[in-house]
Amino acid sequence: MSLDTSTAVHERAWSRVLPLTRAESFRIARRSTLIALAVYVAYALFLTWPLPTDPGGLISAQGLSGDLGGSISRVAYIVQHHVFPFAPATFHGLNAPEGVSQAWVLNWGSLVGTTLLYGFGYIFSPVAGAAIYLWLGFVASGMAMFLLTRRLFGNPWAALLAGFAFAYSPWAVQGMSGHADYMQGWVLVLSVWRMIELADRPTVRNGLLAGAATVAAMLLTPYFVLIGGVGFVTMAVIVLLTGVARGELLATVRGVFLAGAVVVLVFGAIGVLTVVAGGDETGSLRTESITQLYAYTARWREWVLPDQNNLIFGGLTKPYLTSHLHGSNFAESSIYLGDSVLLLALGGVFLGLVKLRRVGRAAARDIRGVAVAGGAALALVAAWFSAPPKVHLLGVWVPMPSWFVFHVTSTWRVYTRFVELIELGLCILLAFAATALLARRGRVASAVVIAALAAVLVLDLWARPPIRTTKVSAPAEYTWLKDHPGGIVADYPLEPAVFPNYAPLLWQMIDHHPIFQGYDANSDSELMKLDLVDLREPSTASRLAALGVRYIVVHPGQPGGDPANLTRQGYVLRFSGPDGSVWQDDARPAQTWVDGLQGFSVVEGGPNAEYRWMTGTGVLAITSRSCLSCWGVLTFQSASADLPRKLTVTDGRTGEVLATVPIPPDRSAPVRIPGVKLVGGQARLLLTTDIPALPPKDGDPRLLSISVGEPRFVSSP
């Protein structure tokens, strides 16, 4: 059925239902609320099945090593060790032996999400808490949109459809894989709702409530600081324009100012806390390259092509979507909005424009007109922010908002997550259009229209993955470790923190050993430990022993993980299973070693020939257990990429230049640095070059300057 453009239909779209008594209104509202709740709960359980059969033993992800496994492992550590997440603490069981500081200030910055996630973990269990948090996202998002649009347009059936579309969009369904934070759209709905109420009644109370709701939305997760902030500013503009049209500018400005003041006050306090705390306790903010933004921003085809798991069209769209991921992945690019949602939203925009043309500024007097304008603005602005940093238009590269945000802070990289705000705006418009379609129809005709729209929305938005759960069952090697307490466990292969395997952290809640993993990205701990990735390297076993590692868990595919090599290197087999083996490190602990820290690439080369390229100012850390205060000589092998360079070595503690050495190009030469002083068994040397790192001539995309291989420190007699 096409949208009727007659005046009568427009009036019906804006009109409320016939007046009812208070008791009748409450009874009808309660009944429709319970129906909506039942529908959303039932669909959430169906969507995640078989998760409801064992929420404490299953997770809603394909595998345990991904983000959901990491989230559960963090909650498990907090719960098992009774750590308060909003105060300073050191997790001694992670990143052993150094431990890792709790990012308690960052937890304040995501107060709502942290409280819910850890609260559910305490009340139920870390695994069951993750399932409840996921179900909360589905049901609460649907209910929030249902209650908002029923309040606005008065039709519970149209509101039911809008709530379903918002709660069960492909993006929300994709949250099952581990990104449940980003489908908690109910907090954004509450913020938008309070801003609409502020536009309708610009009182001090509504201004404060709008600010409080916005703060709650922004405190769910760090990404909602950006997304919720953009939503707030967009709605603030709508509210101010409404005030101008109504002739209530002064009261409206006051209300918006109060709402903004609440937001600024709260995040100003968190900023002060960040400065006062400093260090690791503030949490590590990622610094991304501009190429990451091009990978993790939206393309228009992803909004309009049905999801790869769509029941009808998924087989057709999946190959195309897979071949056009532009460096992203389906966890971040499953942002199909629903063509049916888009069509209904466009119908809502059309109806709103016709009404605006008829009544002009008087439309601002109706809260529903404000909501339609706000929904359209939110969808358009969020889509604008989702775009790549620069877009080619009419032969010109035009910068988009993400480009400007990046040049202020590069912390945020996944701008496709604005899809939650796009869908929010579209669903408000959908509810308005559906209300027009249902206006003054008989019971049978309304039932047919509702059933047809519901069927179309369910089929169009279908994104239920074929594999929805993974059993949380510890492999045999971790069960063995549980029965053999004591000592640090290093789980191989060791992975960088930016591409982690969270399974070892997850099983730490089972075996209770301190674990080698858990380091922060680009930390000294990570860089030191990634020097030990190759079990074929003769020094690895003694280095691990010096750090207190008693056991290593070796999984298939690990270089040097074969029994012959491990036995030769000094490891003793204690347990062997199909998924991994446990070896005890019986090597003699190393007395002195050298680590390449900041300013170096990953380790290259084979055993006894490992090296790393300098990519900036390199930092070498010397550690000695037997020489707490002494002098010595540092030696290593070095080569320069493509052209000769001079290497300057400086004592990081005193600033004294220890040596300036010419480094030949394309061939390795020995370098000897005398006069190195250890204080407290430690020394740090800074390595700089006269010519910065450049792309090599062979087309290698990296920036390289000088290599440093096999560094050794020998103390002087």
**Helical H runs in 281-366?**
290-295, 300-304, 314-323, 330-333, 339-359
Mean pLDDT of all residues in 623-643 = 92
Band of pLDDT at residue 521, cut at 50, 70 and 90: confident
- As a residue count, the chain comes to 717
Over the stretch 646-686, which tens digit does the pLDDT of each residue have? 999 999 999 999 999 999 988 889 999 999 999 999 999 99
Residue 544 DSSP SS3 = helix
288 contacts 410 by C-beta, under 8 angstroms: yes
State yes or no: pLDDT of 7 exceeds 50.
no
Which of 18-27, 176-185, 402-411 bottoms out in mean pLDDT, i.e. has the lowest?
18-27
State yes or no: pLDDT of 373 exceeds 70.
yes
State yes or no: pLDDT of 2 exceeds 50.
no
Over the stretch 457-504, which tens digit does the pLDDT of each residue have? 999 999 999 999 999 998 999 999 999 999 999 999 999 888 888 888
646 contacts 663 by C-beta, under 8 angstroms: yes
Question: Which is more confident, 337 or 285?
Answer: 337
Mean pLDDT of all residues in 83-92 = 94
Confidence (pLDDT) at 3: 35
Helices 67-80/503-511 angle, 10° precision? 30
What distances in angstroms separate CA 571 from CA 259, 553, 562, 588, one per listed residue?
63, 11, 11, 11
Strands 706-715 and 682-689: unpaired
Alpha-carbon distance of 500 to 654, in angstroms, equals 36
Band of pLDDT at residue 281, cut at 50, 70 and 90: low
What distances in angstroms separate CA 713 from CA 183, 490, 596, 635, one per listed residue?
52, 25, 13, 6
Rounded to 5°, the CA angle 367-368-369 comes to 90
- In the chain the first and final C-alpha atoms are separated, in Å, by 93
State yes or no: pLDDT of 402 exceeds 70.
yes
Over the stretch 238-248, which tens digit does the pLDDT of each residue have? 999 999 999 99
Alpha-carbon distance of 149 to 189, in angstroms, equals 10
Over the stretch 199-252, which tens digit does the pLDDT of each residue have? 999 999 999 999 999 999 999 999 999 999 999 999 999 999 999 999 999 999
Which of 123-137, 303-317, 595-609 bottoms out in mean pLDDT, i.e. has the lowest?
595-609
563 contacts 582 by C-beta, under 8 angstroms: no
Hey, which residues does 712 pair with through a beta bridge?
635
Residue 587's nearest CA partner among 544, 623, 552, 642 is: 544
State the pTM of this model.
0.89
